[in-house]
Amino acid sequence: MKTIRDYIRTIVDFPHEGIMFRDVTTLFADPRGFRIAVDQMLHPYAGLEIDKVVGLEARGFILGGAIAHQLSVGFVPIRKKGKLPGATISQAYTLEYGEAIVEVHDDAIKAGEKILLVDDLLATGGTAEAGIKLVERLGGEIVSCAFVIDLPDLGGRARLKAMGMDVHALCAFDGD
């Protein structure tokens, strides 16, 4: 039986030399692989109160939408600056190669709502941390952060745990 890792393609030296890019598009393209990933991402949250799923741009939208559908809850996108049409709040964060800003609509989450944050990959944790801060600024409570892939050597899990977050990932790739 195939595992989640078996559905993920590795592309060497992308986007630049020395990077082992973990490509989840092969997972998404396979109906069985995608179903397994969504089911496994949902499993830890069976019976928990979750009001909305928040997905981080862009692959977090694919997973988050499917998970929100299965949970019968709303979906909230956190997008790169300038991509949302309504009033937003923003959060800057540091990337390996610079800074970026993400935004969420200022009315997307109500105070006290229980939120599941979803993305495809946890590397340094900068994007997830920015997403958590946006949710918390709106009064939402993060129930957990769910990822397909964890790259533990890059420290993202430790970073989110230091913030008091519960972190779940379906698989890990060491040495990246």
Q: Which of 17, 49, 57, 59 is catalytic?
A: 59
Say whether 96 is catalytic: yes
How far CA 141 is from CA of 22, 78, 115, 171, in Å, comes to 30, 15, 6, 25
Active site residue 17: no
Cβ pair 79, 100 in contact under 8 A: no
**CA-to-CA distance for 119 and 127, rounded, in angstroms?**
9
Residue of 171, 54, 150 whose CA lies nearest to 109 = 54
Question: Burial, 15: exposed, middle or buried (Cβ in 10 Å; 0-12, 13-18, 19+)?
Answer: exposed
Catalytic residue among 35, 57, 96, 136: 96
Active site residues: 59, 96
